[in-house]
Structure 1
Amino acid sequence: MGVDRRLADRKGKEEAAAMEKSKSAKKSKRRQKKSPPMPTVVQRLFDTCKEIFANCGADVVPAPEDIERLRAILDVMKPEDVGLNPNLQYFHNVVSEGPPVITYLPLYECPKFSICIFCMPKSAVIPLHNHPGMTVFSKILFGSMHIKSYDWVNNPQNSNETVRNADGARLAKVITDDVFKVPCKTSILYPAAGGNMHRFTAVTSCAVLDVLGPPYTKSEGRDCAYYNDLPYLSSSGDAVLAAGEHERHAWLKERVGKPDDCFVLAAEYKGPKIVDH
């Protein structure tokens, strides 16, 4: 009996030691596991958009601190973050007749927001258009682009109405009229301010990434309208502007249907993937 007890004690000690060794090995393996990879820039962009637009909708602007969070990510984005470089065919897509072909790359879209890229060869133009009820972030990834933007001028007697002329055109004030070259800050427009109607003209081949919150949705009254801008002095309408203000205003006349001076071709986005957790 005494011998059996000693054998059992020794066996128990051996088993306990083996268990401790196994635990130590498992702890060591856990320590040796690599940290999860850092999310890509485009993934961080998506995650931030998902957070800040979660409680937004048409005519609802994200909080100022959220605007700055998203702007901070966009400001440092580079072409390689979305798999682009100036040598790609997208940026040399010039046809012998007609306007240069613009390539549209959709990265993500949901009812709350969309992320896309426009790849523009030199001299390509995205005509003057609006963004009804939207907050829009535009980041030029490379190249240089001329941006001209407008906001509506409200009637002094009724701030809910815009000023119109006899032809039905509406008075608008110039907000931006300049060439932007990388590196430059992200531009932001709002539902009723910041240049809600704008036109992009590629001075050199360039790429611009847009975040729209919410995106265009015809069924909800957020269809894209295009405009011709006419000099203010072509028609005074009901507006009376102070001397020196004429050049900063224009009449915007809505165009019928989609313009035929712009050709946009959709293509597959092939940059780093976005994972919707």
Structure 2
Amino acid sequence: MESVGLVEQRRSSRVENNVECVIKKKRCKRKVRIQVKRPVKMVSRTLQRLFDSCQQVFRGPGTVPSPADVQRLCNILDVMKPEDVGLSRDLPFFQSKSVAVEENPRVASATIYKCHNFSLCLLFLPATGVIPLHNHPGMTVFSKLLLGTVHIKSYDWADPLNSDNYDSPSKLRRARIKANRSFTAPCDTSVLYPTSGGNIHEFTATTPCAVLDVLGPPYSKDDGRDCSHYRETSFGDLSNREEFTKVEDDGHCYGWLEEIETPQGSEMDGIPYMGPQIDESHS
């Protein structure tokens, strides 16, 4: 099975035994090098099965998979391993002691497949790497942590049926906390929906991480599914951090989110996917 790494540059085909994969940090001259042995084939039956199921489950913008279809995809994702996308926990990138922690490390992404109805992509977070608080408009998203430990904090709007009605001219909106805890691979797949399940979330890597994301439909500015970013704040007194979240009578914890411009340095480094390929004519 032919493998994958995080790559921007690939050595000549004369290299028979190894492929060096490099992520270039735009803010740091240091490079993270990943060296893997060259495998024989590029085959992953589980990845192909996931792709075939996604073709049947995702029906395009404006639709949400049925509970049965959600469970169908979760059953596949729950058993997926790093090797299914050509990764290995033995790669230096995923060894916490081998990677020095740096300030504001860059997050990378590799697209496995993308079409109008859905996309499959890998997210690579170095230790302390952050994917800031952002939403998924009109999307159903499956996230499978393949390697590492990551802290996830997620929110749902308190008024999802009135999503365009902001609480103030500054775009402050009340939101209910859905999750606020750490996950360590292997773990079950998390699912978010257009108006529930933690549609607005933030990832903070405790260790180097790899996450497989399935988005249906994918982000699209042309179709009105652009990504918006938010920050936690308080209503009225921005300096009072104790007002960020509050447990209310219904037992849920609520907070205030303010829409902001895309945080500086939050853009991901796009890198090629070099793992097992998908047969689009298979299904």
**Same fold by TM (over 0.5)?**
yes
Counting only pairs closer than 5 Å after superposition, residues 65-144 of structure 1 correspond to structure 2 as 65-88=68-91, 91=94, 98-144=103-149
Residue 196 of structure 1 aligns with an amino acid whose one-letter code is N
SS in 1 for 2:53: helix
Please name the residue that 1:12 is paired with.
none
Q: CA offset at residue 204 of structure 1?
A: 1.1
1:159 to 1:96, Cα distance in 2 relative to 1, 3 A: closer
Q: 258-267 vs 58-67, which deviates more?
A: 258-267
> Which runs of no fewer than 5 residues in structure 1 stay unpaired?
1-37, 236-240
Residue 70 of structure 2 aligns with an amino acid whose one-letter code is I
**2: CA distance, partners of 1:242 / 1:118:** 33
> Which runs of no fewer than 5 residues in structure 2 stay unpaired?
1-42, 239-245
Contact 1:120 1:202 in 2 (8 A): yes
Q: 136-145 vs 39-48, which deviates more?
A: 39-48
Contact 1:100 1:263 in 2 (8 A): no
Q: 179-188 vs 159-168, which deviates more?
A: 159-168
Contact 2:94 2:209 in 1 (8 A): yes
Q: CA offset at residue 49 of structure 1?
A: 0.4
SS in 2 for 1:270: coil
Normalised by the size of structure 1, how large is the TM-score?
0.75
Please name the residue that 1:20 is paired with.
none
SS in 1 for 2:268: strand
SS in 2 for 1:133: coil
**2: CA distance, partners of 1:112 / 1:159:** 25
Contact 2:231 2:258 in 1 (8 A): yes
Runs of 4+ residues over 4 Å off in structure 1: 89-98, 158-163, 241-247
Larger C-alpha radius of gyration, 1 or 2?
1
Residue 273 of structure 1 aligns with an amino acid whose one-letter code is Q
1:215 to 1:195, Cα distance in 2 relative to 1, 3 A: same
Please report the RMSD computed on the Cα atoms of aligned residues, expressed in angstroms.
Answer: 2.7
Q: CA offset at residue 261 of structure 1?
A: 3.9
Residue 212 of structure 1 aligns with an amino acid whose one-letter code is L
**1: CA distance, partners of 2:45 / 2:155:** 35
SS in 2 for 1:101: coil
Q: Is the helix fraction higher in 1 or 2?
A: 1
**2: CA distance, partners of 1:59 / 1:102:** 29
1:79 to 1:160, Cα distance in 2 relative to 1, 3 A: closer
Normalised by the size of structure 2, how large is the TM-score?
0.73
Please name the residue that 1:52 is paired with.
57
**2: CA distance, partners of 1:146 / 1:260:** 21
**2: CA distance, partners of 1:246 / 1:254:** 26
Match of 1:40 among 33, 37, 45: 45
Q: CA offset at residue 101 of structure 1?
A: 1.7
Q: How many residues align?
A: 230
Contact 1:123 1:201 in 2 (8 A): yes
Please name the residue that 1:215 is paired with.
218
Match of 2:176 among 151, 156, 173: 173
Q: CA offset at residue 270 of structure 1?
A: 1.4
Q: CA offset at residue 246 of structure 1?
A: 9.8
Q: CA offset at residue 57 of structure 1?
A: 2.6
Aligned residues with identical type, % of pairs: 45
Residue 214 of structure 2 aligns with an amino acid whose one-letter code is V
1:234 to 1:195, Cα distance in 2 relative to 1, 3 A: farther
Q: 241-250 vs 214-223, which deviates more?
A: 241-250
1:242 to 1:150, Cα distance in 2 relative to 1, 3 A: closer
Please name the residue that 2:254 is paired with.
249
